[in-house]
Structure 1
Amino acid sequence: MGRTENSIDYEIRGRGRLAELLRGERARAGRTYDELAVLTGISAATLKRAASGKVTPKESVVEAFLSACESEPRAIALAKHRRRQARRDERGGHTRVLAATVNAPDALSDALIALHRNYGAPPYREMQERAGGAFRLPLSSISRILQRQMLPVDEQQMVAFLQGCRVPGPEQEEWLQAWHRTMRSTTPGFFTPKVIEELVRQMMGPAPRELDCGQAALHRRLDHRDKLKLLAPATGAEILLKQLGDRMAHRFRDQVGAMAVAERPAA
């Protein structure tokens, strides 16, 4: 099995407990790090660091490590849990947040940051993959949400963020209700020029090609309509136009006008 390993670093408890599990599974399998490297395609040095307690390895490294050790699903699930715990410990531990108490922008912003930390602070790209890709959850949006610069702009993006954090299904519904309460109570001042520009950029993005008339294109158009409906009662069209400026005002007026005509009751 080679020379004796250095002692596990327990400075961050979650990391140490994960390292314990990885070392235990390697010993049970009777594998050297060089053998695991061949089986996983990951360098032996990276695998050693993963089992040192000095770093929190990527989830993909943990999965590959344990798969090469032919670990049972229960051990793999426990390792993932300990990894998430390690990520929380790195950021100050678990923060209790209740969706039922959230009904204002600042509270929702703080809650989303806490949720991200509580579920292991997954990397942005990992969140995007879990959420279904860049169309549903852009990296820039994740960054701005976690820096308190914006909130999810629509229901789809809120769900995508929760999925990216691996929030369980039953809890997702509670947080979605919190998002709706927050949006209903939002004051015009919350929609800063940057937030407005992001919303309109998504609404006024490049038009679909003429032949793009399938279900995806229809969903995009309906989604844009929903965003306009959400913004109208929260801010008022005139406030939006002033914040957007002349550069985008005419495009916004055209879109609002088209929606109003389309929804006018028949004579």
Structure 2
Amino acid sequence: METRQRKARRLKAVPYSESPSGMLALALREARWAKGLTQKQTADAIGISASSVQRAESGRGMPEEHVVKGYVDKLGLDAKRAKRLWGKASRSAGQRRTLTSAPAVRLLNNSDDFADALRRVWEENGKPPAQTMESRVEEVWKEAKSEYVFLSRSAANRITNRRQLPSSEKQLRSYLLACEVQGSRIRVWLAAYQRVRAREREEALAKRKAEEEEEKRWTGWGGRSRAEQAMTALGLDPVEAFPGSSMVPWTVRCQRCGAVLRVRLAAALRGQSGCRVCRPRRSAHQVPVLSRRAGANYEMAVRTGSSPSHRSHGRSP
């Protein structure tokens, strides 16, 4: 018995164990373990090859109906459960080529992969309409508001279309319930959600620190002088004092065509911004460009210290 249990532990984990084919594979394994049989003994009892048992329990392929029926007749697998799981796995197998690619839930650690996995579990459930998802959650939510939140149709659509992640663990529970994910698999999803949110916080903190370090580079008169020199070297002459931040738009004049525009120094240094009038292919972002007359008025207002009129900010057609 101990030898058989050790062999069972060496089996590879079922990929996407929350999918219909994964749940069917786990059910077959559990039925065999309950009888204390090896895969070879199971194959002999059912009258099939050992490779058929291996494929059926791997979760990587769709087992034949007679194989599942053999587990019911010979190993005592619940017939209703087997029929339900096999039916879901059959429907999912027809859609397998169109399923969104996503890592296993236990490997999720960033928001993009998490969004893909949420869409995949919805696809594996047969792509239920948002109205169906809402109705599945509504009754349970009324009885257990401490664990679930109401999942509106719009929220379900945004999550399935990867426009947002669940806003809380409660909303994640509701979404998974709407996709008929239950039991111990919920804990795996919650752990992945906590990892993703922790990484988002770390990335936001790192970005904020990087911006602060960037700002320190341009503080003081020495920094302002370097900023003006850097902008001039890029072919853009400042027409107003440096705003004190590389992230704030700065009014400059193109040395080549004379256009007056607003450019962020940080973007210009990265090659992501420049004059889109004479060098449209080099600029990655659209920047406000003033007409020649409006630019001259704005430059004069900056030099004299007066406030430029509303018309002086108009864009050239």
Q: TM-score, normalised by structure 2?
A: 0.32
Larger radius of gyration: 2
Which one scores higher on RCO, CA 8 angstroms, separation ≥ 6?
1
Q: Which has the higher helix share?
A: 1
